[in-house]
């Protein structure tokens, strides 16, 4: 069949008209997503009620964190593999790892029209660090010169001397000491700029935050304990441009209810499949699931302030414990593959990760070697056979009981000692004993990276006197190795040095690495283009309707 010229032309017009209506918000089934998909769909996702007002520097938990991440844009953001990409930054330059010059892009605005300049950044960071503002994530600015003065208890200093505005588009940062991976941190939510109104009335702002990210909060969008509605920010022009008509986080008290909602298509995406559904979710959801490692791990920290666990005998005992745990079996049987056996102290998604660091053998199950190591330790200092080795965990959330019991049984069977799980009824109770250094045995410790860097898994946890050093580990050689890594001139040299430092940890085992976290999520048959980021959070901006 042939078309006449006129009918062809009419056909073109008709196609164009169809395409136009498709691009509009008419709810038609065609759209312009990168891989196809309907861009007019509002994505229904699961969330939890933020603990604190939605102030970037005051938010340190997942519920508020993922909202902040979507309504704010910082100097850089991380791509799905964890590589930083410039968002507001034009360039971040620093030759010696201590002095940085940051240039920001021109004509950037918050959704209320306020311009974002170098001063906005400096003011926001100073606000976050100053003790008088009591921001929970203030510690993220600790490397900047002048942080100590601003953050001291009762301090009235509200600026850090290391931050200087050069002109509207430029500011400089001076750190206390060289830290080559510092620019990697700038994608963390504490480093985003906030409008001037936020600094005057943080509480009011936290209810109705105004940002500059790919999304903005809808009018009255935060219905406490119920839902948080985000709509696309049309002025955003960075790498995370929204490909849907908005994201609504429905707040759930428990994942089981969320899973039922997902099964009946009342929820589009569930970030984490609840433990109770791990056995069935693949048959329930078919190919609408994801199984992807992210930057988090699980360890058992054994405090060195306990006499049995200090010195050479303690070290041998920790090696024995580590080799007595069959990680492959637990990740398969208990977690159905939702975890991967650990081969180091970091996580496999990170740049510089290696699964063959000398000493990684200490993390392999080997009953004979474990018994030998325990016997050697006994030769130095006898283990009282009536003593019970405890593994503490919080029983309120996270589903830790099952794997703790499994580890307990493996230790009993291999080493022939008394082992028990010690449940704390709440997380806060467990943290209390850990921070007060009053633990009477080991404690489970999980770490989720704040920014994609090997250092983030080592420095804050194992450096002498570090804030999250539950094991009270103190080893000057390790401290030196880590600071060598920070002083390295390039990222790859830095990574090599970090893995050198890990050799020391793998021998000392202040904590026993168990497994890497794997994000296991699922989605409804109404959405497509679902992927997860390096941190185990779905890339909500990329999700489209079918």
Partner 1 sequence: MSTYILKRFLQLIPVFLGATLLVYFLVFSLPGDPIVALFGDKPVNVAVAAKLREQYHLDQPFWMQYLLYLKSIFTFDLGQDFSGRPIATVLGEVFPVTARLAIMALIFEGVFGIVFGLIAGLRKGKLFDATVLIASLIVIAIPIFVLGFLLQFTIGVQLGWAKPTVSSAATIPDLILPAIVLGLGSFAYVLRLTRTSVIENMNADYVRTATAKGLSRFQVVRVHILRNSLIPVITFLGADLGALMGGAIVTEGIFNVPGVGNRLYRAVLSGEGPTVVSIVTVLVLIYCLSNLLVDLLYGWLDPRIRYDS
> How many other CB atoms sit within 10 Å of the CB of residue 229?
19
DSSP per residue, 275-295: GGGTTTHHHHHTT-EEEEEEE
Interface size with partner 1, residues (CB under 8 A):
59
Least distance between partner 1 and beta carbon 392 (Å): 13
Query: Interacting stretch for partner 1, rule CB under 8 A, among 165-173, 236-244, 257-265, 535-543?
Result: 257-265
Least distance between partner 1 and beta carbon 257 (Å): 4
| Residue 128, phi then psi, degrees to nearest 5 | -65, -35
SS3 call for 343: coil
158 binds partner 1 (CB under 8 A): no
253 binds partner 1 (CB under 8 A): yes
Rounded Cα gap, residues 47 and 66, in angstroms:
9
473 binds partner 1 (CB under 8 A): no
303 binds partner 1 (CB under 8 A): no
517 binds partner 1 (CB under 8 A): no
Least distance between partner 1 and beta carbon 4 (Å): 51
Residues 260-279 that bind partner 1 (CB under 8 A): 260-261, 263-264, 266
Query: Interacting stretch for partner 1, rule CB under 8 A, among 160-168, 223-231, 363-371, 502-510?
Result: 223-231
30 binds partner 1 (CB under 8 A): no
List the beta strands (DSSP E) in 10-162: 43-47, 76-78, 84-86, 89-93, 99-104
Least distance between partner 1 and beta carbon 344 (Å): 19
Start-to-end CA distance of the chain, whole Å, equals 33
283 binds partner 1 (CB under 8 A): no
> How many other CB atoms sit within 10 Å of the CB of residue 166?
12
**CB of 223 or CB of 413, closer to partner 1:** 223
Rounded Cα gap, residues 187 and 456, in angstroms:
13
**CB-CB contact of 451 with 404 (8 Å):** no
**CB-CB contact of 245 with 231 (8 Å):** yes
Which of 171, 252, 365, 455 lies at the binding interface for partner 1 (CB under 8 A)? Answer: 252
Query: Interacting stretch for partner 1, rule CB under 8 A, among 104-112, 117-125, 248-256, 370-378?
Result: 248-256
Query: Interacting stretch for partner 1, rule CB under 8 A, among 70-78, 80-88, 100-108, 246-254?
Result: 246-254
**CB of 466 or CB of 474, closer to partner 1:** 466
Which of 541, 491, 516 is CA-nearest to residue 328?
Answer: 516
**CB of 381 or CB of 468, closer to partner 1:** 468
Least distance between partner 1 and beta carbon 448 (Å): 8
The 75-94 contact track toward partner 1, x by CB under 8 A, reads --------------------
CA Rg, the chain, in Å?
26
**CB-CB contact of 304 with 310 (8 Å):** yes
**CB-CB contact of 246 with 234 (8 Å):** no
Rounded Cα gap, residues 185 and 183, in angstroms:
5
**CB-CB contact of 271 with 45 (8 Å):** yes
DSSP per residue, 242-270: --SS-EEEEE-S-HHHHHHHHHTTS-SEE
Residues 374-403 that bind partner 1 (CB under 8 A): 396
Least distance between partner 1 and beta carbon 226 (Å): 5
**CB of 438 or CB of 489, closer to partner 1:** 438
Report the residue count for the chain: 546
Least distance between partner 1 and beta carbon 180 (Å): 22
474 binds partner 1 (CB under 8 A): no
Which of 61, 93, 235, 387 lies at the binding interface for partner 1 (CB under 8 A)? Answer: 61
Which of 30, 101, 159, 227 lies at the binding interface for partner 1 (CB under 8 A)? Answer: 227
Rounded Cα gap, residues 501 and 187, in angstroms:
25
- 40 bridge partner residues: none
53 binds partner 1 (CB under 8 A): yes
Least distance between partner 1 and beta carbon 254 (Å): 6
SS3 call for 520: strand
**CB of 199 or CB of 313, closer to partner 1:** 199
Give the Cα-Cα-Cα angle 206, 208, 210 (nearest 5 degrees).
95
Q: Which two tokens stand for residue 230?
A: 């985000």
**CB-CB contact of 202 with 133 (8 Å):** yes
Which of 242, 445, 482, 518 lies at the binding interface for partner 1 (CB under 8 A)? Answer: 445
Residues 108-147 that bind partner 1 (CB under 8 A): 131-132, 134-139
| Helix, strand, coil percent content, the chain, rounded in steps of 5 | 35, 20, 40
Which of 96, 207, 235, 312 lies at the binding interface for partner 1 (CB under 8 A)? Answer: 207
The residues binding partner 1 (CB under 8 A) are: 49-53, 60-61, 131-132, 134-139, 151-155, 203, 206-207, 223-227, 250-254, 256-258, 260-261, 263-264, 266, 396, 425-432, 435, 445-448, 460, 466-468
């Amino acid at each position: 069949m042939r078309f006449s010229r006129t009918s062809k032309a009419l056909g073109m017009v008709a196609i164009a008209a169809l395409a136009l209506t498709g691009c509009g918000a008419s709810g038609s089934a065609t759209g312009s997503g990168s891989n196809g998909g309907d861009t007019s769909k509002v994505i229904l996702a699961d969330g939890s009620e933020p603990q604190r007002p939605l102030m970037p520097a005051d938010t340190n938990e997942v519920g508020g964190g993922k909202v902040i991440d979507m309504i704010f844009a910082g100097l850089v953001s991380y791509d799905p593999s964890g590589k930083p990409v410039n968002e507001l930054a034009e360039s971040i330059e620093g030759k010696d790892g201590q002095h940085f010059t940051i240039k920001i892009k021109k004509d950037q605005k918050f959704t209320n029209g306020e311009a974002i300049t170098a001063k906005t950044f400096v003011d926001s960071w100073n606000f976050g660090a100053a003790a008088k503002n009591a921001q929970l994530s203030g510690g993220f600015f600790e490397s900047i010169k002048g942080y100590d003065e601003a953050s001291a208890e009762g301090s009235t200093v509200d600026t850090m001397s290391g931050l200087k505005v050069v002109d509207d588009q430029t500011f400089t940062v001076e750190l206390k000491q060289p830290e080559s991976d510092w620019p990697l941190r700038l994608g963390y939510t504490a480093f985003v700029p906030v409008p001037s109104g936020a600094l005057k009335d943080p509480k009011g702002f936290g209810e109705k935050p105004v940002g500059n990210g790919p999304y903005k909060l809808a009018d009255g969008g935060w219905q406490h304990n119920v839902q948080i509605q985000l709509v696309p920010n049309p002025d955003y022009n960075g790498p995370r441009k929204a490909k849907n008509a908005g994201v609504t986080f429905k707040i759930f008290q428990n994942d089981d209810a969320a899973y039922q909602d997902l099964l009946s298509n009342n929820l589009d995406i569930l970030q984490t499949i609840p433990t109770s559904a791990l056995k069935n979710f693949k048959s329930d959801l078919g190919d609408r699931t994801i199984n992807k490692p992210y930057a988090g791990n699980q360890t058992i920290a054994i405090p060195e302030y306990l006499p049995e666990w200090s010195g050479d005998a303690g070290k041998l005992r920790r090696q024995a414990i580590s080799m007595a745990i069959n990680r492959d079996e637990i990740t398969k049987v208990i977690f159905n593959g939702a975890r991967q056996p650990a081969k180091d102290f970091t996580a496999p998604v990170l740049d510089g990760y290696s699964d063959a660091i000398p000493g990684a053998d200490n993390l392999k199950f080997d009953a004979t070697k474990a018994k030998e190591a325990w016997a050697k330790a006994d030769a130095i200092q006898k283990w009282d056979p009536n003593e019970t080795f405890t593994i503490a965990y919080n029983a309120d959330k996270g589903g830790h009981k099952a794997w703790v019991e499994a580890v307990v049984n493996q230790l009993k069977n291999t080493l022939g000692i008394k082992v028990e799980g010690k449940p704390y009824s709440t997380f806060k109770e467990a943290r209390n004993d850990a921070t007060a250094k009053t633990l009477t045995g080991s404690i489970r410790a999980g770490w989720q990276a704040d920014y994609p860097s090997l250092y983030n898994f080592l420095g804050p946890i194992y450096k002498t006197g570090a804030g999250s050093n539950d094991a009270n580990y103190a080893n000057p050689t390790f401290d030196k190795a880590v600071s060598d890594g920070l002083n390295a001139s390039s990222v790859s040299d830095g990574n090599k040095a970090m893995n050198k430092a890990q050799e020391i940890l793998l021998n000392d085992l202040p904590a026993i690495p168990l497994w890497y976290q794997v994000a296991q999520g699922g989605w409804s048959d109404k959405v497509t283009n679902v992927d997860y980021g390096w941190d185990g959070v779905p890339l909500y901006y990329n999700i489209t309707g079918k």
